[in-house]
Structure 1
Amino acid sequence: MDKDLNQMSQKELEALKADIDQALASLESRRRTEARVAAESAAREHGFSLDELLEMGKARGSRTAKKNPPRYRNPENPTETWTGRGRKPGWIKEALEQGRPLSDLEI
């Protein structure tokens, strides 16, 4: 392909760009298909289907995504809660400075 880009019109350059974008999308699609076929083959060699392995990963990830439930609530603003982990919110610090025990703020 011996084209002098400097000699091409804007319309020709835009058409060339569209062709290149289409070729890149097609290449990516082929590469994904090849990768999936290779992954399915590797899974079969070990006695699994690729879908089984992917489901195992989803189940494992969902266990680690659990949030800690809140353990403390601000009595002046019940929408403010704290799990007891990480930095203490300002309302917890203020209550402790006022001499209130942390147990007074438990849910």
Structure 2
Amino acid sequence: MPVFYFYLLKNGFRQIKLLPPVYLLLEVIMDLSTLSVPQLRELQQQIPLEIKRREVQEKAEILNEVRAFAKARGYAIEDLLTGKEPKVKVPSAGGKVKVKYRHPQNAELEWTGRGRKPKWVEAWLAEGGSLDNLLV
């Protein structure tokens, strides 16, 4: 289908040609030095709008490509983006740490030796006791 195509010549005159769509892929080079200040201002106003329009169009095309990519592998893009992946529990390397210290009178008071000392251990040491006496 032929399309009318407008472009500016280097001498500043506009030319209209009837071109087949194949020629629309060609770039038209504008010599900005030939444009007047009002023409440059008009062009300056049109550029951000054209950039925004093309960004919207490009994003839609990319989204469609990503959807097709996911669909070819048996997924829906919405399923991939929701973050509702099945959580796989990884068994911990160790497990429960063995008790290293136990109170001599109260067997329920235990300490693995890791982290901060429990109050009962601090009280034992303050009374002059030794950690060696609490070893299991």
Normalising by structure 1, report the TM-score. Answer: 0.46
- Of structures 1 and 2, the one with the larger relative CO (CA 8 A, separation 6+) is 1
TM-score w.r.t. length of structure 2: 0.37
Structure of greater Rg: 2
Query: Quick check: which one's strand share is greater?
Result: 2
